[in-house]
Amino acid sequence: MPGDPLFLHIGLQKTGTSYLQSIFWQSQDALREQGLDMVPRSKRDTFWLMLRVRGRYNAEFDPPAVAAALDRLPAALARATSGRALISEESLAPADRGQIRELLEACAGREVHVVVTVRDLARQIPSAWQQTLQGGGSETFPDYLDRLRANEGKPNGRLWRNKDVAAVLERWREFVPPERIHVVTVPPSGSDPELLLERFCSVLGVDAAKLDREVAKSNSALRHVHAEVLRRVNANLDRSHRRRDVYGDIGKRYLAVRVLGDGGGEKVKMPRSLEPWCTAVSRRYVDHIAEGGYDVVGDLADLLPTGSAFADRSPEPSGDEVADAASAALATVLTGQMDRLRSRRAAAQAAPARASLPRRAARRARRLLQRS
């Protein structure tokens, strides 16, 4: 008799995963009321689990708890008493066969379902390039596209392991039957943003209307000029400062998201010259999904690029535009530093005054005693 369902949402990256996860992490009580537990119980612990499964644990800067993250999973699943459970980590998609086997062995006793969110390549590729920048990369968009085309057909290579949906599905279906692999398509640009959430929730058996959907766009795309500023900054950083232990907090969440993320300008788009190639690759993926016996949620036509996803002219920002965006970013950084300095000085000046209060009170008490 099969156990309670466990939904493994494995990605792909840049397919609305951050949006979905933000809603689910802040709606855990509402999910439990609907019979679904998030496992592990925090985003941090889920990230640690992915690091361990993918063999990315680094003893130099990762806490020792990461090394035992997979060992803790069976107990975490046992504590999930709502019935159904969800693990959501987009970096699980590229797991190799040995890593998949080890993960599923830790999920023994559960009826595992794999959930794969998929987006059309013309929108996914520019976002994926930005993701490399937010990980410390410094490759230009044209160079990234050239390498992407040169490495097509190498699904296990670094560039395609989070994009080649056919290869990802084939790898996972060796362990999970295709009828329990759910392919959720990301709706086209301009659609109701909650349509993706509704499609995803339909797989889990959850009512999306009962979740907390007021989330910030914490992973919104950079405009091209700000992506170029970030790329040039990264190019000037020593490799030691582009490692995950420090770059994630400072380079990504501070500089890329908080400082550069709110600026205007042109979106990063695929060049029009690559539309035939991008469409041909997308059609191959659509055909593979349609013929594979997977549970498709949404419309496979959503995975075919539309003309609006391509740029007729190069969107490369000019030198003046980059200089203006960099100057504005520096002003934001300086403003933050100056405000923090003022706060520290004010706190330091207030400290002696607070410390002197007990002494003044003691002197007043002595004077009163002397008068008496």
* Res 157: pLDDT: 81
**In which element (H, E) is residue 181 found?**
strand 181-185
CB 155 within 8 A of CB 161: yes
- Residues 51 and 158 occupy one common structural domain: yes
Residue-wise pLDDT for 142-154, tens only, equals 999 999 999 998 8
- Residues 232 and 288 occupy one common structural domain: no
- Residues 122 and 238 occupy one common structural domain: no
- Residues 227 and 106 occupy one common structural domain: no
Above pLDDT 70, what percent of the chain? 93
- Residues 213 and 238 occupy one common structural domain: no
- Residues 40 and 160 occupy one common structural domain: yes
Pairing assessment for the beta strands 270-271 and 310-311 based on DSSP bridges:
parallel
- Residues 159 and 122 occupy one common structural domain: yes
Above pLDDT 90, what percent of the chain? 81
Those residues with Cβ within 8 angstroms of residue 36's Cβ, 6 or more apart along the chain or in another chain: 82, 83, 84, 85, 86, 204, 205, 206
Residue-wise pLDDT for 230-272, tens only, equals 999 999 999 999 998 999 999 999 999 999 987 778 899 999 9
CB 113 within 8 A of CB 176: yes
Pairwise CA distance, residues 200 & 20, whole Å = 8
From the CB of residue 345, how many other CB atoms can be counted at a distance below 10 Å?
10
Pairing assessment for the beta strands 295-297 and 181-185 based on DSSP bridges:
parallel
Q: Which residue pairs from 323-332 have beta carbons closer than 8 angstroms and sit at least 24 positions apart in sequence?
A: 325/225, 325/226, 325/228, 325/229, 325/260, 325/263, 325/265, 326/229, 326/232, 328/263, 329/226, 329/229, 329/255, 329/259, 329/260, 332/259
What letter does residue 4 receive in the DSSP assignment?
S
Residue-wise pLDDT for 77-124, tens only, equals 999 999 999 999 999 999 999 999 999 999 999 999 999 999 999 999
Domain count within the chain:
2
- Residues 127 and 13 occupy one common structural domain: yes
- Residues 126 and 171 occupy one common structural domain: yes
pLDDT band at 362 (very low <50, low <70, confident <90, very high): low
Pairwise CA distance, residues 300 & 282, whole Å = 10
Q: Domain containing 172 — which CATH number?
A: 3.40.50.300
Domain boundaries, position 127: 5-219+269-311
